[in-house]
Amino acid sequence: MIADLRKTTEQKMQKSLEALKTDLGKVRTGRAHTGLLDHVMVDYYGSPTHVNQVANITLVDARTIGVQPYERNMVGPVEKAIRDSDLGLNPASQGELIRVPMPMLTEERRRDLIKVVKAEGENAKIAVRNIRRDANNHLKDALKKKEIAEDEERRTQDDIQKLTDRYVAEIDKTLVAKEADLMAV
């Protein structure tokens, strides 16, 4: 039971870290990358679909993303979906290819993005701490039901705290790397 609790706790914390990395990937730096458009949804014959399922996304150059819809009649909806997304991008279609230039980031915009990154990091830390709390509550319930001994509960709580500290440190390291990436001109 204890081993299962440790394992599921670590898996949940790992998922929180991966979710943070995914969210930070959406916060754009000055460089273009195809993953930027992963969460953009386009209306594909009445059903919302990820843009990478209806179009080929490539890098034209370091500052431009090229989006080529598989169907010619999807150029307009894909362009509109990118424009309406929360990314602040302004796509321009050239025939069947949609060019998405990445605007330069101003110092003020970089500072705003760092605030967003820090908020995402804090949310991830809160998620990890909530996982720790749930695991500790589970241990206390097991102790009340006399399923585990008191010293076993203490030892497991210490292990869970070490896991929490490790993942919080990993989150901090990820945030520092993203901030440095954002401030690089």
Where in the sequence is the domain holding 95, given as residue range(s)? 34-101
User: Same domain for 96 and 110?
Assistant: no
The percent of the chain in helix, strand and coil, each rounded to the nearest 5, is 65, 15, 20
- Of 101, 129, 159, which marks where a domain is finished? 101
Could you tell me the CATH number of the domain that includes residue 66?
3.30.1360.40
Report whether pLDDT(20) > 70.
yes
Report the pLDDT value the prediction gives residue 42, as an integer from 0 to 100.
Answer: 92
- Of 80, 101, 122, which marks where a domain is finished? 101
Q: How confident is the model at residue 158 (pLDDT cuts 50, 70, 90)?
A: very high
DSSP string across 39-56: T-EEEETTEEEEGGGTEE
User: Same domain for 71 and 113?
Assistant: no
Q: How confident is the model at residue 30 (pLDDT cuts 50, 70, 90)?
A: low
12, 53, 99, 101, 128 from 131: Cα distances, Å: 7, 34, 43, 40, 5
- Of 83, 101, 119, which marks where a domain is finished? 101
> Against a cut of 0.75, is the pTM above it?
no
Report whether pLDDT(28) > 70.
no
Total domain count, the chain: 2
pLDDT in tens, 84-137: 887 778 899 888 899 988 877 788 878 878 888 898 899 999 999 999 999 999
User: Same domain for 110 and 175?
Assistant: yes
Report the pLDDT value the prediction gives residue 159, as an integer from 0 to 100.
Answer: 94
Strand order in the sheet with 97-101: 55-61, 64-69, 97-101, 92-94
d(CA 65, CA 82): 11
Q: Which of 39-48, 82-91, 132-141 has the lowest mean pLDDT?
A: 82-91
Q: Decide: residue 92, CB within 10 A, 0-12 exposed, 13-18 middle, 19+ buried.
A: exposed
